[in-house]
Amino acid sequence: MGKKNEAVETVVDWDSLGYDGVSMTTKVDVTARIQRIYWRTLETKDDRLNSSSSLRVSMIQNGKILDREKRMSLCCLAQGKRNVCCEVQLCQDTLLNRTDWHEVLYQEGGVLYLSKLRLVEHKYRKRARQLFSLIDSLKTTRSGKQQSCFVFKFDEQTTVQRVSEDKMSDYPIYSSPQSLNNFNLDIGKHRVCFCGQLLHFKFTKDKYYNTKHVRLWLSGNISHDCAESGAEPTISVIQVCYSSGRTMEWNESTLLSGQLLSMQDLVFDKGKPTVLSADIFSKIQVIIPHSSQPDHDHVSRDLHEIWRRTMTRTMTDEEYSTLKCLPVAVLPDLNENCQEDGLVMCEGTISDVDHENAFCWYSCCRCTSEDISEVSSSKSQYHCNACALDFTSPTTNIHLEIYLTSRSVSISKVKVKLLQKTTKNLLSGSEKTERETYNVNSVLNKHLGPLHCYIAERAEDKNLKISFELEELDSSSWNK
């Protein structure tokens, strides 16, 4: 009997190929410059479905019951000699179980040789508009727009190494993100960069589309050079939208007021010049001085740490100090022309209190956790379930919303939700009742402000009187 034909692995060079004639079983060698690094959420099929009946599988799929696991993948957009781009995906298992990619993929701009990549997808412009808007932003000169893009996967057979500096000139130069003030504003949409100080952030969820959104308000100079001085600081509202299915993402613990952020590849739309939007190809990085850079000599086996490293940008101490010292843009005073989602200054006399929404609660005096319980058989009256502290005097927190008189005749009502420290200062002279509560009416007729506030709601009645609901912002960490 003759031997069965053994499958022969085919390895081809990406730069020598057109877009036709490549099968999904072909292994491809790619030599290209890494233009961008970003994270994607990729779905992996649940193997448990394979043992199910075809009818059950159909019912699950038609009912949109998600039996797919969503996992993070680090991706790089690579540009070859012919100015054509491809995407290389490093799945979660590769990130955690291999170490040869760490050094070469943390920084953009290098030229890499990646051997035996596995072809997994062929994307076309009509079905991947965001990806191709990023590709278009990299091209300084081109005869025509790239219409399709190969997607390769870094698998167990793939190897990676840097290309020597004497051969790097054969490849397109690194296309650094373009600043907002360095291109023609008549262009409908364009990708830009922006650096600034975080003043405020707000998370919302869309349950219908299962997405999570965050809006960021930053103050800074809209310039390619983040440390450039001499221009007046401006407020820009940055909208960032991403899927809540990701295993890691920006949240209330990773974003802090007063942080310096670098925003890369944001989408500028001339129809909304003060609002920049971000997609999965945009990068938000916390800026730190070089002297504070953590030690990354060890190889990380933790996906969250890998993500944090890619979301951190270092500057020289001088550049960082220059950016940090930029004054925060002056917020406008509250007036009838102010709109929702704006940041304003507010000042006035307290005319009333929202008694229905006034309440207080206890928290741990050490870690501020609200997860505390009363202990009857102990010298201490309370126990913190978060830090295990036993204590007798908890911290009293007070929720207080007040009404301010306004100088404008067009504004009928201004309601402000106060921060804890402002509330405690207002009540510092009032006496507690027997039930350890405060007489909130003691704040009436007191002058308050100026306060930095966020406009949560704006309404107008039939008499054209305008009312506002504001939330006080903690500006203690801002550079003022």
Q: What is the pLDDT along the chain (480 residues), one digit of tens a residue?
A: 444 444 556 677 786 665 555 566 778 999 999 999 998 877 655 444 444 455 444 444 444 444 445 678 889 999 998 889 999 999 888 888 887 777 666 678 899 999 999 988 889 999 999 999 999 888 654 567 888 999 999 888 898 888 888 888 889 999 888 776 555 555 567 888 888 899 999 887 766 656 677 888 988 865 444 444 455 666 777 777 665 444 456 777 788 899 999 988 988 887 777 788 888 888 889 999 988 877 655 556 677 788 888 888 899 999 999 888 888 888 999 998 999 999 999 999 999 999 998 888 889 988 888 999 888 766 678 899 999 988 888 888 889 999 998 777 678 899 999 999 999 889 876 655 545 566 888 889 999 989 999 999 999 988 888 999 999 999 998 875
Domain boundary, last residue among 118, 138, 170: 170
Residue 268 counted as domain residue: yes
Let me know whether 89 and 161 are in one domain. yes
Reduce the secondary structure of 142-158 to three states and give it as a string: CCCCCCEEEEEECCCCC
Domain boundary, last residue among 120, 140, 170: 170
The whole domain housing 445 covers: 331-358+400-480
Let me know whether 388 and 475 are in one domain. no
Q: Which residues pair with 195 in a beta bridge?
A: 262
Residue 4 counted as domain residue: no
Let me know whether 351 and 311 are in one domain. no
Let me know whether 422 and 383 are in one domain. no
**Contact yes or no for 474/423 (Cβ under 8 A):** no
Rounded Cα distance between 384 and 129, Å, is 50
Let me know whether 354 and 472 are in one domain. yes
Residue 175 counted as domain residue: no
Let me know whether 124 and 244 are in one domain. no
CATH number at residue 93: 2.40.50.140
Residue 460 counted as domain residue: yes
Residue 412 counted as domain residue: yes
Q: How far is CA 347 from CA 45, 418, 473, in A?
A: 56, 13, 13
Let me know whether 209 and 290 are in one domain. yes
Let me know whether 389 and 420 are in one domain. no
Let me know whether 295 and 422 are in one domain. no
Let me know whether 190 and 144 are in one domain. no
Let me know whether 375 and 319 are in one domain. no
Number of domains forming the structure of the chain:
4
Let me know whether 147 and 272 are in one domain. no
Residue 1 counted as domain residue: no
Tokens of 470: 């504001």
